[in-house]
Amino acid sequence: MIPAIALVLGVVLGLVLNPTVPTGLQPYLPIAVVAALDALFGAVRAQLDGIFDDRVFVVSFVSNVLVAALVVFLGDQLGVGGQLSTGVVVVLGIRIFTNAAAIRRHLFHA
Amino acid sequence: MVEPRGPARRPDGSMSLLVDMSAAALDPSYAEVAERRARGELPPARGRFHGRVVAALVAAGLATGIAAAQVRRDAEVADDVRRSLVADVERRTQATDALADRAADLRSEVSAVRAAALGADAAGQALAERVALLELVTGTVPVRGPGLRVSLDDAEEGAGTEPGDGRVFDRDVQDVVNALWAAGAEAIAINGQRLTSRTAIRSAGEAVLVDLRPLAPPYRLEAVGDVDAMEPAFVDSPTARRFQTWTSLYGLGFDVQRAEELRLPAAPEPVSRVAVPLTPSGGGT
């Protein structure tokens, strides 16, 4: 319950405060969100598997976001930022789908 | 046969990237830490949701919210820009129309004043007639009279064997215009654009431009002139025959009709930037 409330609180705060993102950071924000989503789904699956560990979650969350942003940043410097963003989204998307499927099997046994 | 050495190849070797991606979908560290806990190398897990987990979750939500708000705001900005551009275009178009109206008013005023000034004596009247004739042939005044209506249109999609077979190009329009002049046309307009001696008919991309304005098919050519002489001359011209062939071959639209009364607009005032007229004292015309 507490994690869900924390997540919703964050979303509402973000929408209400609506801070201006520096132009330089704007391309990386959506990628960071997808990376964070990946870490979140991984955490839910680990929780259901009974092996959740808060330290692992925080480390994977932070490193996921940073690495995803870094890869896109590098791509931008090399002129392939758009393609690399697509690559990152595809890889993270596949992981999110796989984890979501595992979560579904846990919850519905189907 | 050579026996393969080393570890046996996985049957899905070429797909290993995709397989690995789904197999390692869950961060392997979770399993590793759980194993070490079970072996007693790490202390057992504490309370389920530590403060930093909550902080990370709030951060994740915050990023999501900000990103969503950003996307929405960007869309709004783009929309605002588009709306202001549309308003700009409309305002400018209105201003241009108003200026064109004013130009037409001033032109008729100039004509009236000139007629009054020149009407005083015989020499003036001769000059006025000359001016009126020149205005007519240079296309600076609207004209009316009987004439021919020729319409050209692209064929339906997929006509002919090669792309472009059924399309009307700038050179086709040029051909028809030249044939009309040759048949005795005195004034021609295409889709309401009056042709003068300085009007260019050319193409840019797929569009045919007349006087640098893009026109859309069908192309309606209106030619004022002596219909009785013009119609047979034009219909018998090589250009018209060629178009009739193309109509039966490719389905190109080509139609010639007589009109009792055509009204052609004036062309924009021609501007002479370099040339100056020879004055009678300077050598005469």
Tell me the pLDDT tens digit for each residue of B198-217: 888 888 877 888 877 778 88
Tell me the pLDDT tens digit for each residue of B107-150: 889 888 888 888 777 888 888 888 888 888 888 888 889 999 99
- Does residue A69 lie within any of the structural domains? yes
- Does residue B141 lie within any of the structural domains? no
The tally of domains found in chain A comes to 1
Task: Tell me: ipTM over 0.85.
Answer: no
Q: Residue B263 and residue B246: Cα distance in Å, rounded?
A: 29
**Interval B67-80 mean pLDDT:** 88
- Does residue B13 lie within any of the structural domains? no
CATH of residue B253: 3.30.70.1880
Q: Residue A9 and residue A76: Cα distance in Å, rounded?
A: 32
Domain, as residue range, for A40: 23-108
pLDDT at B272 over 80: no
Tell me the pLDDT tens digit for each residue of A42-87: 888 888 888 888 888 888 889 988 998 898 889 989 988 888 889 8
- Does residue A4 lie within any of the structural domains? no
- Does residue A7 lie within any of the structural domains? no
- Does residue A11 lie within any of the structural domains? no
- Does residue B18 lie within any of the structural domains? no
**pLDDT at position B281:** 56
Question: Does the beta-carbon distance from B49 to A2 stay under 8 Å?
Answer: yes
Question: Does the beta-carbon distance from B64 to A56 stay under 8 Å?
Answer: no
- Does residue A16 lie within any of the structural domains? no
- Does residue B222 lie within any of the structural domains? yes
- Does residue A30 lie within any of the structural domains? yes
Of B33, B50, B57, the CB nearest to A7: B57
**pLDDT at position B15:** 64
Query: Chains A and B: how many Cβ contacts under 8 Å?
Result: 143
- Does residue B193 lie within any of the structural domains? yes
Token pair belonging to A15: 């929408």
CB B251 within 8 A of CB B166: yes
Distance from CA of A108 to the nearest CA of B (A): 19
Domain, as residue range, for B253: 146-264
Q: Give the DSSP per-residue string, B6-31.
A: SSPPPTTGGGHHHHHHHHT-S-HHHH
Question: Does the beta-carbon distance from B62 to A10 stay under 8 Å?
Answer: yes
- Does residue A63 lie within any of the structural domains? yes
Q: Strands B201-204 and B143-153: what pairing?
A: unpaired
3-state secondary structure of A28: helix
Of B33, B61, B65, the CB nearest to A53: B33
Question: Does the beta-carbon distance from B60 to A7 stay under 8 Å?
Answer: yes
Q: Does B56 touch chain A (CB under 8 A)?
A: yes
Question: Does the beta-carbon distance from B29 to A59 stay under 8 Å?
Answer: yes
- Does residue A57 lie within any of the structural domains? yes
The tally of domains found in chain B comes to 1
Distance from CA of A64 to the nearest CA of B (A): 10
Question: Does the beta-carbon distance from B63 to A37 stay under 8 Å?
Answer: no
Per CB-CB distance under 8 Å, the chain A contacts of B43 are none
